[in-house]
């Protein structure tokens, strides 16, 4: 099938084309991008008044399969990704069984392929069983298609084990994705340690629990020459450490989530467990620093940390509820509303943070609409105004902190390898 996406504003910082134009898709690839195309025998997709982006790529998703298919499945998560404009997602290893061997990596790839929604890139565990003691089978997982390694959900606290992991991962040229929190400093904390934890009488997790691990791992990355990526950075001090390390020329990268730059610890006043997340929602000063980090390039990527939990699991008191929020279907609209409309990022920078840079971190093709690229393309309607409701979320779990929020901008069309998956907001079955 040939498609011609006509009359949209093409935003393609990696490919170089910007402004109003037409885009031709043939045989799964972008074959022409011009101010105006005259082509016959193709299905025209009217994008006038809308924006055309390379498909978004999410570095940080929990698909819960294998093990917790009651929360989410590979197919369900990959479908929710399409709804949110993500044509590629990387999934974390903390499933049951843990993705610490080639068999689980191959299983994930097979399920994703059968589902046929977003492309799924599995991330393997750093240590066996996420136990932080013995390295997982990195070589076998790399050969099976793992795009990187992470013990996400946990920090590799033993510096000697972590150093070994860095040296080993370097042999495969793959990055390590790091969840950074010192478990001793975090203690039994359930929210950010600050004004609100004091007022609410809940044990706090200090920002320094994150900063201290980021500082350690910057030093170890520098010492070993390995590539590290800092997941869901939440604290102002972390942004400063990463900015300084980049200034010294280190090959590190970092992500923030939409919930961390748009929601503060004041949300916990409601005691609603939907706002319990790891790392916790921080203070206003941190939110401002995350936005500044996105603006000046200290932070490279916006990733969701999409973490589905069932209603039953979340329906208990705040300090007993599991941590995590879903985010695939709201990320682009939240970023558009909070960053682009607030003039913190340009449209081009938004596409860099959500498509170009994540592709570079993973070392995969994508993030560009230039001729010859795989046709992973989305059409975004910046004028759509919508209020998030549980009913419209296709994710199996509905634990979104944005339910009830009014957002600007929505995903209108999505192509993966030239196949139309979402047309005018509806799935193409």
3-state secondary structure of 205: strand
Stretch touching Zn ion by CB under 5 A, among 18-26, 105-113, 147-155, 158-166: 147-155
Name the residue with the smallest CB distance to Zn ion.
179
Distance separating the N- and C-terminal Cα atoms of the chain: 15
| 319 vs 323, beta carbon nearer Zn ion | 323
To the nearest whole angstrom, how small is the minimum distance from the Cβ of residue 218 to Zn ion?
18
**Could you give the dihedral angle defined by the CA atoms of residues 85, 89, 95 and 100, in that order, rounded to the nearest 10 degrees?**
180
Stretch touching Zn ion by CB under 5 A, among 113-121, 127-135, 172-180, 307-315: 172-180
Residue count at the site for Zn ion (CB under 5 A)? 2
| 179 vs 306, beta carbon nearer Zn ion | 179
To the nearest whole angstrom, how small is the minimum distance from the Cβ of residue 59 to Zn ion?
11
To the nearest whole angstrom, how small is the minimum distance from the Cβ of residue 54 to Zn ion?
26
Integer Cα distance of 31 and 23 in angstroms = 8
To the nearest whole angstrom, how small is the minimum distance from the Cβ of residue 360 to Zn ion?
21
* Cβ atoms of 367 and 355 closer than 8 Å: yes
Per-residue mark of binding to Zn ion, 93-132 (x: CB under 5 A): ----------------------------------------
| 6 vs 179, beta carbon nearer Zn ion | 179
Integer Cα distance of 292 and 287 in angstroms = 9
Integer Cα distance of 255 and 391 in angstroms = 29
To the nearest whole angstrom, how small is the minimum distance from the Cβ of residue 303 to Zn ion?
10
Q: What residues from 389 to 428 belong to the interface with Zn ion (CB under 5 A)?
A: none
**Structure tokens given for 164:** 């070994």
Stretch touching Zn ion by CB under 5 A, among 49-57, 163-171, 176-184, 384-392: 176-184
Stretch touching Zn ion by CB under 5 A, among 171-179, 214-222, 233-241, 282-290: 171-179
| 100 vs 152, beta carbon nearer Zn ion | 152
C-alpha count within 13 angstroms, C-beta hemisphere, residue 422: 26
Q: Which of 22, 72, 151, 152 binds Zn ion (CB under 5 A)?
A: 152
To the nearest whole angstrom, how small is the minimum distance from the Cβ of residue 75 to Zn ion?
23
Q: Which of 179, 306, 396, 398 binds Zn ion (CB under 5 A)?
A: 179
To the nearest whole angstrom, how small is the minimum distance from the Cβ of residue 231 to Zn ion?
5
Per-residue CA distances from 145 to 55, 60, 161 (Å): 21, 17, 23
Per-residue mark of binding to Zn ion, 208-247 (x: CB under 5 A): ----------------------------------------
**Which of the residues are catalytic?**
305
What would the 3-class secondary structure string for 109-168 be? HHHHHHHCCCEEEECECCEHHHCCCCECCHHHHHHHCCCCEECCCCCCCCHHHHHHHHHH
Stretch touching Zn ion by CB under 5 A, among 48-56, 145-153, 166-174, 235-243: 145-153
To the nearest whole angstrom, how small is the minimum distance from the Cβ of residue 201 to Zn ion?
26
Integer Cα distance of 411 and 394 in angstroms = 14
The answer to whether 276 contacts Zn ion (rule: CB under 5 A) is: no
| 33 vs 307, beta carbon nearer Zn ion | 307
- Residue 249, burial from CB neighbour count under 10 angstroms (0-12, 13-18, 19+): exposed
Integer Cα distance of 401 and 70 in angstroms = 20
Integer Cα distance of 48 and 382 in angstroms = 11
Stretch touching Zn ion by CB under 5 A, among 42-50, 177-185, 234-242, 319-327: 177-185
* Cβ atoms of 88 and 376 closer than 8 Å: yes
| 231 vs 354, beta carbon nearer Zn ion | 231
Which one-letter DSSP state was computed for residue 325?
B
- Residue 35, burial from CB neighbour count under 10 angstroms (0-12, 13-18, 19+): exposed
| 62 vs 396, beta carbon nearer Zn ion | 62
* Residue 244 backbone phi and psi in degrees, to 5: -65, -40
Integer Cα distance of 293 and 257 in angstroms = 12
| 50 vs 179, beta carbon nearer Zn ion | 179
Contact residues for Zn ion, defined by CB under 5 A: 152, 179
């Amino acid at each position: 099938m040939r498609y011609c996406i006509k009359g949209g504003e093409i935003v393609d910082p990696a490919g170089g084309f910007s402004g109003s134009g037409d885009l031709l898709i043939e045989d799964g690839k972008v074959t022409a991008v011009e101010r105006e195309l005259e082509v016959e025998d193709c299905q025209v997709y009217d994008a006038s008044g809308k924006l055309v982006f390379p498909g978004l790529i999410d570095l940080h998703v929990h698909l819960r399969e294998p093990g917790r298919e009651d929360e989410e499945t590979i197919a369900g998560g990959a479908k929710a990704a399409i709804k949110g404009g993500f044509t590629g997602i990387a999934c974390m290893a903390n499933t049951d069984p843990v993705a610490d061997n080639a068999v689980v990596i191959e299983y994930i790839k097979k399920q994703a392929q059968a589902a046929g929604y977003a492309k799924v890139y599995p991330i393997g565990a750093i240590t066996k069983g996420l136990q932080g003691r013995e390295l997982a089978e990195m070589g076998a997982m790399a050969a099976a298609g793992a795009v990187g390694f992470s013990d996400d959900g946990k920090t590799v606290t033993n510096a000697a084990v972590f150093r070994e992991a860095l040296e080993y991962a370097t042999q495969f040229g793959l990055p390590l994705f790091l969840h950074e929190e010192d478990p001793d400093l975090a203690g039994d904390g359930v929210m950010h340690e600050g004004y609100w934890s004091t007022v609410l009488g809940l044990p706090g997790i200090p920002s320094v629990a994150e900063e201290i691990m980021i500082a350690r791992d910057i030093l170890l990355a520098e010492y070993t020459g390995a590539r590290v990526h800092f997941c869901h950075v939440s604290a102002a001090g972390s942004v400063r450490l990463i900015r300084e390390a980049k200034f010294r020329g280190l090959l590190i990268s970092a992500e923030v989530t939409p919930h961390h730059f748009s929601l503060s610890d004041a949300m916990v006043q409601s005691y609603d467990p939907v706002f319990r997340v790891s790392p916790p929602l921080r203070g206003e000063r941190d939110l401002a620093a995350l936005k500044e980090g996105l603006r000046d390039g200290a932070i490279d990527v916006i990733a969701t940390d999409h973490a589905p939990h069932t209603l039953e699991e979340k329906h208990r008191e705040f300090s007993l509820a599991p941590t995590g929020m879903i985010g695939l279907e709201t990320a682009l609209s939240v970023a558009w509303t909070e960053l682009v409309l607030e003039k913190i990022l340009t449209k081009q920078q938004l596409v860099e943070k959500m498509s170009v840079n994540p592709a570079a971190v993973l070392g995969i093709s994508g993030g560009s609409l230039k001729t010859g690229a795989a046709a992973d393309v989305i059409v975004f309607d910046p004028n759509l105004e919508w209020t998030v409701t549980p009913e419209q979320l296709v994710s199996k779990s509905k634990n979104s902190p944005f339910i009830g929020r009014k957002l600007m901008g929505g995903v209108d069309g999505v192509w993966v390898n030239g196949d139309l998956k979402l047309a005018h907001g509806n799935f193409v079955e």
